[in-house]
Amino acid sequence: MGNRPREVDALLAAVAKQDVPPTRVVLVGNGSPLPDFTGSGLPFTVTTVELDDNLGCPGGRNVALARLRDFGDVDVAVELDDDGLLVDADVFRTVRDLYAGDQRLGIVGFRIADEHGETQRRHVPRLRAKDPMRGGEVTAFLGGGHAFSMRMLAETGDWPADFFFTHEETDLAWRALDAGWKVVYEPSLLLQHPKTSPARHAVYHRMTARNRVWLARRRLPLPLIPLYLGTWTLLTLARTRSAGGLRAWAGGFVEGVRTPCGGRRPMRWRTAWRMTRLGRPPVI
């Protein structure tokens, strides 16, 4: 969005230090102009795309994925937030080896930790979140740092651009699981990221509620929709301390019920059972 030029420079420098170089690098200005990276000393060319409007997290990433497809030589896409930093030089090599070893590996989620090495509980993609170093198959991933199989995306579709912000990762992960792909959390893949709260964004409470309703309407079997939304309503009431936040959340919930959610393609019951066996049934 053009407000983190130093962080972007540091991230590109970290990408340049990887012991397995990237095939392509795309940088999207999401409603923001970008500087010219030609001749910047990087060992690769940065393809820049400037969008007139901010399309949100998923919309901007879809533009980058489309550009990668134009090149035609990318099998795995790594997506990184502009305020993240790759600390280790073997991240791309590890990603390459993971995908080479499993043809049904769809999504690899990175571990996110701040500059002190602390991983926030919300950044561990499982219910038992005390140990951020426990990896393995999961049902969700983190939007800040992850890798996708391009073959998987060709089958499942890209990000849900209409979500704009929040829960777009869940929608994509559920589609991947329903299509028989694996979602893996690999804690050795570290993305250093400042410690933040998602509520820092003004639209957080409204979009969280709206998108959660959309997610349920799009992806869950009918009997699970009230269980899922009821569980999250109770959790929201218990956790939210701001009256203004609750009002925004309620408005977003109503918006999610009344507005079109996109095409409905509920997951199969065997996918719900698979998620339950992985430790997170699709009701929480």
Answer yes or no: is pLDDT of 101 > 70: yes
Of 163, 196, 229, the last residue of a domain is: 196
Domain shared by 187 and 214, yes or no? no
Answer yes or no: is pLDDT of 96 > 80: yes
Give the CATH number for residue 152.
3.90.550.10
Q: Please provide residue 240's backbone torsions phi and psi, each rounded to the nearest 5 degrees.
A: -80, 125
pLDDT score, position 284: 87
Quote the number of domains for the chain.
Answer: 2
Q: Tell me the pLDDT band of 76, cut-offs 50, 70 and 90.
A: very high
pLDDT score, position 37: 62
Pairing label, strands 145-149, 105-113: antiparallel
Q: What percent of the chain has pLDDT over 90?
A: 89
Q: How many CB atoms lie within 10 A of CB 42?
A: 15
CA–CA separation, 57 and 145 (whole Å): 13
Range of the domain at 171: 5-196
Answer yes or no: is pLDDT of 36 > 80: no
pLDDT score, position 65: 98
Of 167, 196, 225, the last residue of a domain is: 196
Q: Tell me the pLDDT band of 40, cut-offs 50, 70 and 90.
A: low
Q: What is the mean pLDDT of residues 5-31?
A: 95
pLDDT score, position 262: 93
Kind and range of the H or E run holding 188: strand 182-192
Domain shared by 206 and 192, yes or no? no
Closest C-alpha to 57, from 89, 31, 85, 20? 31
Domain shared by 55 and 90, yes or no? yes
CA–CA separation, 255 and 115 (whole Å): 38
Domain shared by 209 and 241, yes or no? yes
Whether residue 283 lies inside any domain: the answer is no
| Contact predicate 260/218, CB 8 Å | no
